[in-house]
Amino acid sequence: MSDLPAESSRAAEPLGPQRPLSRVEVADIAVRLFQEHGYEATSTVDIAEAAGVSRSTFFRQFRSKDDVIFADHDELVARIDEHFAATHSDPWLAVCEAAAMVFERFRERLEIVRIRDRVLRETPVLRDRETIMAIRYERMFASYLRSTVPGVPPLTAIRFAAAVTATHNFVLRRLIRATDNVGPYSLAAELTEVRRLFHLDAAAQGPEARPAGDVVVAVFPAATDPTELARAIEERLRAQTRSR
């Protein structure tokens, strides 16, 4: 009688501990649950169970369910802080580079970002938080310019920061909602146009006095809300694009 084949010792080995999920990985799981079941119908317990973490671990990573969908932004803000902490010969360009960092992060994660966008559009409370996040970027950019560009008028820094943020958001939305992974706009080209509108070149440390090409000058009251200013600039960019 032949011997029975021995069982593989490898199969009997216990599995090692799994790597804990990162904050963004937990957030990605949550976003997919929001898409499948709806934001309101998905609880923090549902997210924790799907991610394989305890509820207490979830709340160590996130303050609330609302914070889950903005995990990318929290990491990006930290990266921008590091970027601005370095020395830059052209602070205006450094702001454009920071906006590009945000854009590239979302382009690299386009599939989950598109799901997140659909969830945001279907959930009014999250749309409000998204607006607040855009203002957070604007303030970071304006604060950096005011601290690094000698003598820059505060409103100039605010206007430039608002223009860069609005341009980034416009191009990103077009990419997210495009039918391919390219989109009809180049962020680098559009940010170069923003710099041209503000009379900035690669070596400039502030707005130049001479006009450059077809320039539209808009005057806003000093108390203008940055969000309203960004919206007005975005509409102007759209009008220019349609007229080309």
- Give pLDDT tens digits for 173-228: 999 988 766 666 799 999 999 999 998 754 444 444 344 445 555 556 666 666 66
- The domains located in the chain, with CATH, are 19-68 (1.10.10.60), 69-243 (no CATH)
Enter the tokens of residue 243.
């007229």
Report yes or no: 242 and 170 within 8 Å, Cβ to Cβ. Answer: no
- The pTM score is 0.71
Owner of token pair 């317990």 = 45
Q: CB of 24 within 8 A of CB of 72?
A: yes
Confidence band for 81, pLDDT divided at 50, 70 and 90: very high
CB 90 within 8 A of CB 203: yes
| 89's tokens | 């010969």
Q: Residue 144 in contact with residue 86, Cβ under 8 Å? A: no
| Separation of alpha carbons 38 and 119, rounded Å | 8
What is the rounded distance in angstroms from the CA atom of residue 234 to the CA atom of residue 14? Answer: 58
